[in-house]
Structure 1
Amino acid sequence: MKNLFRIKNLGILLIGATLITSCNLFKKKPAKSSSTGWTYNDPNGSGFRVSKEKEQKTGPGLVFVEGGTFTMGAVEEDVMRDWNNIPRRVTVASFYMDETEVANVHYREYLFWLDRVFQDTSITNHALPDTLVWRSELAYNEPYVDYYFRHPSYNLYPVVGVTWKQAYDYCLWRGDRVNENILYEKGITNKKAELQKQMQGGGQDNFNTKAYLLGEYQATPGKNIKTYKDPITKQVPTNISFEEGIILPDYRLPTEAEWEYAAYGLIAQNPNPRRSEKKRGEELTANKQVYPWAQNVNGLRDSRRSSWQGQFLANFKRGSGDNMGVAGGLNDRAVIPGPINSFFPNGFGLYNMAGNVSEWVADVYRPMTPSDGDDFNYYRGNKFQRVDLSTGKAERDSLGRIKYRDETDDEVKNRRNYQKGYAIDYLDGDSLSNVTYGYGKTTLISDKSRVYKGGSWNDRAYWLSPGSRRFLEEDQGSSMIGFRCAMTRYGSQEGNGRKTGNWFAKKKQNNRKRN
């Protein structure tokens, strides 16, 4: 009986040893550098940690806009005689853009956060939209002054009266809140502890993406932070790095080129876009579309949808004194801005890229910029900066953001790609261009003049064309101007699941051996 028991135990040990051996056989080998041969994420290697290759996730509220080439500028007669949007071909890299304009309820969420975290009315008041933009000497618009921004009936109507500066700050705030929530959901930071810190009025010590990545914001660790420990020292980091691919890029205002490209939605005219490698779309670069919702060069409705007959596809002013049509037969059914997801989306799925409200873009206005700027990712408004290390380390300002300083011309004078830290007025009245317009002196145009695009609820049809452009000072608001956010796309230009470049099957080529 004892021998039988010993044999049984020996069998169990053999089975266990076999299972252990099997596990070791199937254990995944650490990745190896094709450059040095050293292994990654390996306690027996150099200790270099490399996260698994992954695509960028789509942030809340955003849609993917596949980039490409298009004709930027006016594609119809310049009836306003502005001569500020001369057509030229440019290329825009893929990016993300808000599906809709930023709504009143979204902006009120921002104000609520400011009030709770800083508990300082001066900070909150600085961000308040100007509701007095509704006033006019010869119109009774007082109800909109009091109720448009706050009344729940207008929750999902676009916020107006927001200056360019306020829109810029909102985008920064939104990016921080999105990344903060991502870290909560991943268990990298402790949500309960972090929210408790906010409820107590964290003030300057609030979560900021850049501060977190630089180690200047110490978040309360979550239960999953140990997943990112050093493979050799076994030390658990305080913060994760950007290289982990979890933190999203900043939300920001779209550039003028991005906004105009996205507004056209030309992908709708491209047969079989992004279906497969065998059936990819044609390069229909000759089309000169007039309106965002069009699926043909004339800007007409799709003839297959007979129910569209007589329907307005944007919220605009048909003529003097006609903001919505006749009772019983209202044309666009909106006397002021309408809901952010009303009317017909364009080829990229973006709503109200014409009409409803015009929208701020990132660019500083110049009449001739479209002919002066680069033909790839064109943009005017660069003021190059660096993290301020004057005290020996990165520091945060009163709002919790990392402090930056402007680059000096002396610091970049030996560079080949740029020699000026302040590039807003580049090729503008200097010795290279010999052109000057007396900006800010003899005209209304200055370095504070920002571009806004798209027609509004109170504009005629001419301004609905994405090629049209106007400007307003960055510290001014209007009842006809709102905004939406954008985000840079990292990785494949065709979106997640699609590789960059053309890839071909490996085949033997004349049986030639490679050394």
Structure 2
Amino acid sequence: MNLKNLAILVSSVSLFAACHKKPEQSSVTGWNYNDSKMGGFQVSKEKEQHTGPGLVFVQGGTFTMGATQEDVMRDWNNVPRRVTVNSFYIDQTEVANIHYREYLYWINLVFDADEYKAVREAALPDTLCWRSELAYNEPMVEYYFRHPSYNFYPVVGVTWRQAHDFCLWRSDRVNEKLLMDRGYINQNAVKNLQGLGQENFNTKAYLMGEFQATPDKRARSKSNPLKNPNGTPRTQVTFEDGILLPNYRLPTEAEWEYAALGYINQNPLPSFKDKQRGEELIANKQVYSWSNNVNGLRDTRHGSWQGTFMANFKRGSGDNMGVAGGLNDNAVYTAPVKSFFPNGFGIYNMSGNVSEWVGDVYRPMTGQDADDVSPYRGNHFNTVDYGKEGKAERDSLGRIKMRYMTDSESQGRRNYQKSDVINYLDGDSTIAGISYGYGKTTLISNKSRVVKGGSWNDRPYWLSPGTRRFLEEDQSNSTIGFRCAMDRVGSPAGNGRQTGVNYKQRRQNTRKQ
């Protein structure tokens, strides 16, 4: 037998084996998965979550959240406490002007009708945030957001609410492209976006069958891995298929602070071989995000970088960038989002450049009250609004209508009894005459959102990730920007790494009893 005939024989045997591969069975019923003759229950092959555009993976862990140095502001709002953060994804950089202009372009294109004028205007950043009574900042007002020389500078003048809406828009655009790339949405269907209005793609509406997409011919072909119970190609994707990503969102305060510290640099990088791991070193409570040691110095093979600026901040009164010919951070205002050195997780400008919105509602002592794992204040639980007819509907923006859960729907539960828990364990609401009404008894309200990280106009104290401030969610500032985050599903250790500690199975005595 010559080599050609041998190759043909081997190929034929392999093809036969592939065609007659034993189907995967349920370990609890013995029934086959993906078998039209046995009910057709579809199970996707186990797969890892892929990293969304612009994101980096942050492996979770425990850390001491809060103050890293003396509380010189006497706020007493960042008392150190040990917490654990689950693994997640976060933007490598702050959201830049060009990214936000892309968002505005899409809104103006899709919602171009007169009835959407308020929607278009609500998304605009406040460029007047640069104005000051005793400074000449008009060039920043006129040029900063739109001139191409500032394309990759961080967007500012954006409220918390606008940043939140940007995350919703980004989620839908990323998932829509994932479906287009795989042929489950015909690309020709999205060529003409102008005037779509309510009919634009929304992930939740798609998953609930309220958005009808036109599939590409690839989805109708036999090569489509998704099947109906009868074995025919399935053109409607479900979340169980592992194609769509979780939503982009603002990071929680704990996530942001943990990502800023970049503690992974203090341990040997975990190996893809589960036999190796880091040494759980968290002894070095670093002050700034770029630190590799307690002194804040970073050395390379080419020599020390000691003496160079590692962030964009204000060195002292009247000194925002140094002296001509010897500029220190080379930026009087903001700097490009990939300026300076990234931290241990590869994230840029977690200390300096612009402060950033996070998801939490501000309270001075939340750190002492919140859970040990994934601490967060700001929950107001909601559910799909099925209306009087018992059917989910889309709102004027194409999103599924949601409503807050009622207390009567929650009172029978053990893990929570109210849907609005923003004030949970707050304490002040139980004291007669004390409430969080802005302008009445306190500057803090349920609209106050946490702001993290120092900015181009801050002294070094605010560059420490443990510091925290707040601003109302409908206000903006020339020193505040934002970045997005995303949930991590599956193994918290990362792709290719197992969850838990797995040992080799010992051979068991299989004698019949």
Q: TM-score range by the shorter chain?
A: over 0.9
1:75 equivalent in structure 2: 68
The answer to whether structure 1 residue 146 and structure 2 residue 142 are counterparts is yes
CA–CA separation in structure 2 for the residues paired with 1:90 and 1:183: 37
Distance 1:21 1:70, change over 3 A: closer
CA–CA separation in structure 1 for the residues paired with 2:173 and 2:395: 18
Q: 2:24 aligns with which of 25, 31, 46?
A: 31
1:112-123 matches, within 5 Å, as 112-119=105-112, 120-123=116-119
CA–CA separation in structure 1 for the residues paired with 2:352 and 2:422: 29
Question: Does structure 1 retain, via aligned residues, the 8 Å contact 2:428–2:435?
Answer: no
1:446-465 matches, within 5 Å, as 446-465=445-464
Q: 1:41 aligns with which of 31, 34, 43?
A: 34
Quick check: 348-357 or 440-449, which moved more? 440-449
**What code does the residue aligned with 1:397 have?**
D
1:80-479 matches, within 5 Å, as 80-119=73-112, 120-196=116-192, 198-199=193-194, 201-226=195-220, 227=224, 230-234=227-231, 236-274=233-271, 276-302=273-299, 306-390=303-387, 391-429=389-427, 438-440=436-438, 441-479=440-478
CA–CA separation in structure 1 for the residues paired with 2:396 and 2:271: 46
CA–CA separation in structure 1 for the residues paired with 2:14 and 2:206: 43
1:12 equivalent in structure 2: none
Question: Does structure 1 retain, via aligned residues, the 8 Å contact 2:266–2:282?
Answer: no
Over the aligned positions, Cα root-mean-square deviation in angstroms equals: 2.3
SS at match of 1:175: helix
SS at match of 1:281: coil
Q: Deviations over 1:425-469 (max 9, x none)?
A: 111236889996655321110000000100000000000000000
Question: Does structure 2 retain, via aligned residues, the 8 Å contact 1:101–1:340?
Answer: yes
Question: Does structure 2 retain, via aligned residues, the 8 Å contact 1:189–1:223?
Answer: no
**What code does the residue aligned with 1:100 have?**
T
Q: Deviations over 1:228-247 (max 9, x none)?
A: 56454345545211000000
Question: Does structure 2 retain, via aligned residues, the 8 Å contact 1:428–1:435?
Answer: no
Question: Does structure 1 retain, via aligned residues, the 8 Å contact 2:263–2:282?
Answer: no
Distance 1:381 1:340, change over 3 A: same
SS at match of 2:471: strand
Question: Does structure 1 retain, via aligned residues, the 8 Å contact 2:256–2:358?
Answer: yes
Distance 1:430 1:318, change over 3 A: closer
User: Which runs of 5 or more residues in structure 1 are unaligned?
Assistant: 1-14
**What code does the residue aligned with 2:62 have?**
T
Distance 1:26 1:237, change over 3 A: closer
Q: Deviations over 1:308-334 (max 9, x none)?
A: 132100000000000000000000011
With normalisation by structure 2, the TM-score equals 0.92
CA–CA separation in structure 2 for the residues paired with 1:260 and 1:88: 12
Quick check: 268-277 or 167-176, which moved more? 268-277
Question: Does structure 2 retain, via aligned residues, the 8 Å contact 1:263–1:346?
Answer: yes
CA-CA distance at 1:194 after TM superposition? 2.6
Distance 1:251 1:19, change over 3 A: closer
CA-CA distance at 1:225 after TM superposition? 2.2
Structure number with greater Rg is 1
Question: Does structure 2 retain, via aligned residues, the 8 Å contact 1:189–1:219?
Answer: yes
Q: Deviations over 1:163-186 (max 9, x none)?
A: 000000000000000000000101
